[in-house]
Every structure is written in C-alpha cells, then in structure tokens.
Amino acid sequence: MRNNQLNLGKKEENLIKLIGRCGFFVDDFKSKLGVSKHVVASCLKKDLIYKENAMFFYSKIMIPYCLTNTGKSYVKDKYFISPYRFKPSQTNHDFVLSNIYLSLSEEEREEWISETSLMSLYPNEKVTDGMYRNKNGDVIGVEVITSSYSDFYIESKMSFIERYCDRSIIIDSDKY
C-alpha cells in the first residue's frame, strides 16, 4: 500500500509516532497513549508495525511492536521523523525513554526530536536520546543513562546538553 494512500486515524497516528520517536510500543502503554488493541491490530494489518520477539522490560515479559520498513518510510515522509533505533540489548533504557515521552503533553510530543534526527543535525556530537521544546519555549534534552555508560560517555552527553539545551531530564534506568 503506497504511503500516500494510507488513511490513518488520530490514534493510529499517535501510535506510529510514538514508535517512530521512541522505537517501540508495548501493551503497557495503551492507556497512557489512549489506544486500544484495535488500533494496534489496524496498524499491524496496514503493515506499518510488526511484532518483535518477547523481551523482558523491568522483569516483565512483554512483546514490543516496532515499525516495519513501510512504517519507517511513512513516518519519514509524512511526519519528518527519523525513526529511533530500538535496541533489544537495552530494553529498560528504551522503556524509560518511552515513559518520558508519554508523560509529555500532546504539543510537547509534537516538538520531540529523536536521537536519530539529532545525529543528522549534529553529526560529530554525542547527542542525547531525545530533545523537545516545552510549553515555555525551553529546549529540553532527554537522556537515559545506564550503569554500562562510561564516565567519559556521560560527560560528552552532558556537554551536548550544555551547548544546545536550556534544561535537561536525566534518568538512570538502573535505579528502578
């Protein structure tokens, strides 16, 4: 199905934007995103998303949904989102990132820039996991750190935040 022939409802759009910006969707996000299993089924049917293998997210086994190639092209063409690359080796990290995104207002979510987009915008920098502009107009850098990050790596992220962001949200995913 060609991208420009797809007619998505608002909730379907919200779903694939979440996956485009944060890498995946799991059933636990349904209520926060305001989508039902029918919306998920519809996106599966339209070949925008697919089911990944089951994984542990903070000791709970869940099945993540990711963008298909069709889905990736769609979010690039329609919403100018460079899809975030979901990493199965750091499920907790990406889970926290998604939770941060989901706690934002709808307007703030529309201001979200994914890590992949940031890498294109700032090619020689260690960019953050995400960035958005809040309702006050401040640029907020979002970074989720884990115990596997070296001090040097964390410092380079902080230095990016200092140069390009007004404020930051930094969460250590291993603390939860």
Partner 1 sequence: MELLNLVSKDYVVPLNIPKSTAYKYQQVISRGYAKYLDAIFACGGVCMLNQLIDLIEYFEIKKLTYAGYAKRARVMLTKLEELGFVEIEYLNRNKYIILKHPAVALSDGDYKTHRRVSVKDLFRSDKFMCSITKFQSLLDYGYVSEYENVFKQLYSITGSILELINENGNLFGYDVDVIHDILNTTNYMDAISIVEDLPGHKCKLGIVRSIWVDIAKMYRKLYLKGCLIRKEPLHLSINIQSDGHVTLHYVPVIVIYDTFKGLDYYVKQDSFLSEGFFGINTNNTLGMKDDYQKKGKLGYEHFSRIGYTISLFGPSNSMLKLKAKALSETYHNGGIHSPMVKQCEYNEVDVDKYINHSYTTEGNDEMYNESMNKLKVAIDEMVGGMNGA
Binding site for partner 1 (CB under 8 A): 53-56, 58-63, 88, 91, 96, 99-100, 103-104, 134-136, 138, 140, 167, 169, 171, 175-176
Nearer to partner 1, 26 or 119 (CB): 26
Q: Please, are residues 20 and 101 in contact by the beta-carbon 8 Å criterion?
A: no
DSSP 8-state class, residue 104 = S
According to DSSP, residue 124 is labeled T
| Min separation Cβ 4 and partner 1, Å | 33
Residue for token pair 């291993």: 174
Cβ closest to partner 1, residue 21 vs residue 82 = 21
CB of 170 to partner 1, least distance (A): 8
- Between the alpha carbon of residue 104 and those of residues 47, 63, 134, the distances in Å are 27, 24, 9
Instruction: Kindly state the tokens that stand for 147.
Output: 């115990």
Shortest distance, position 138 Cβ to partner 1, whole Å: 7
What is the nearest approach in angstroms of partner 1 to the Cβ of residue 160? 17
- Residue whose pair of structure tokens reads 């889905």 in the numeric block: 71
Nearer to partner 1, 75 or 129 (CB): 129
